[in-house]
């Protein structure tokens, strides 16, 4: 039986994969996470690959604290670049395929229309910069790789915008939410299905792909939809980014074009609001 290594095993995307991995019964999934498995430790990574016949490595491990990354640059680099490189080199040595999860934050948001995979990257902060460097490290280390850029990821698990809004909506009568940052919410459960498809069908059209749900929204739109679907009575007020300063600058527009992955995998992608309904009514 082939083994699939999933790093960041306690995170929301890995948990969504775990939720459906029984559909790929021909594979054995190995979930690893801190403190037992540190992707920044090359020796630990190599030992695991030597002890197990790994066919695919899905790297869900990442430093994702966007604002904290501005003051923890070395840690963000260690996880997002060095860790990704360690996994990619191990995959190359042991003839495994790597699926690296990346982000819309590799773009600066100034383009004004949907980003394609080969559009110019220009990260605005440490998080986006280290994820972009991680992409490069993976692509330079091995040919058999996929980079999946996604955006505004949420699920029933872990820490994310949906769960934060549910908590704050229950605690407060009024919330201010940014309305001039535009992107696409993505249900991690949908992304997990795409990852499983790549593994199960042994897809070999390697390279960088964009995956988010369909449609466009601001964080304000997203919050309004959460409260409406979850039937939470909270008054949401739209505010400009400048009214809510953060250590890290965010792209103002990070909608991604998904044509490439839809054609390569022959998939239809759900509209973001439909997926949000599924997440909140499961």
Residue numbers annotated as active site: 127
Q: How far apart are CA 122 and CA 125, in angstroms?
A: 9
For helices 219-230 and 161-171, give the axis angle rounded to 10 degrees.
60
Measured between alpha carbons, how far is 210 from 244 in angstroms, rounded to an integer?
Answer: 28
213 neighbors 268 (Cβ within 8 angstroms): no
Residue 222 tokens read as 């997203």
Question: What letter would DSSP give residue 64?
Answer: -
Report CA 134 to chain centroid distance, whole Å. 13
Q: Round to whole Å and give the CA distance between 42 and 63.
A: 17
Please work out, in degrees rounded to the nearest 5, the angle formed at the alpha carbon of residue 31 by the alpha carbons of 48 and 167.
Answer: 145
Calpha distance 126→113 (Å, rounded): 24
Instruction: For residue 227, give the 3-state DSSP assignment.
Output: helix
149/27 Cα distance (integer angstroms): 24
Max Cα-Cα span within the chain: 56
Alpha carbons within 13 A on the beta-carbon side of 138: 30
């Amino acid at each position: 039986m082939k083994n699939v290594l999933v790093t960041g095993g306690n995170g929301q995307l890995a948990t969504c994969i775990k939720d459906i991995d029984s559909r790929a019964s021909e594979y054995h999934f190995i979930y690893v996470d801190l403190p037992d498995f540190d992707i920044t430790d090359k020796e630990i990574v190599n030992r695991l690959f030597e002890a197990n016949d790994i066919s695919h490595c899905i790297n869900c491990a990442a430093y994702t604290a966007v604002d904290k990354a501005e003051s923890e640059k070395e840690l963000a680099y260690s996880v997002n670049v060095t860790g990704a490189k360690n996994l990619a080199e191990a995959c190359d040595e042991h003839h495994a395929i790597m699926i690296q999860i990346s982000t819309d934050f590799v773009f600066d948001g100034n383009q004004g229309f949907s980003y394609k995979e080969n559009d110019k990257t220009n990260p605005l902060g440490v998080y986006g910069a280290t994820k972009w460097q991680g992409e490069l490290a993976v692509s330079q280390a091995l040919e058999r790789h996929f980079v999946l850029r996604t955006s505004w990821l949420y699920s029933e698990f872990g820490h994310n915008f949906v769960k934060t809004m549910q908590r704050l909506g229950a605690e407060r009568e009024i919330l201010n939410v940014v309305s001039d940052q535009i992107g696409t919410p993505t249900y991690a459960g949908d992304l997990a299905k795409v990852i499983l498809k790549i593994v199960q069908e042994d897809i070999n059209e390697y390279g960088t792909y964009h995956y988010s749900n369909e449609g466009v929204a601001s964080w304000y739109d997203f919050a309004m939809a959460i409260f409406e679907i979850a039937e939470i009575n909270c008054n949401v007020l739209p505010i400009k980014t400048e009214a809510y300063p953060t250590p890290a600058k965010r792209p103002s527009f990070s909608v991604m074009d998904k044509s490439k992955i839809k054609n390569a995998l022959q998939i239809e992608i759900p509209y973001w609001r439909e997926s949000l309904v599924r997440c909140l009514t499961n």
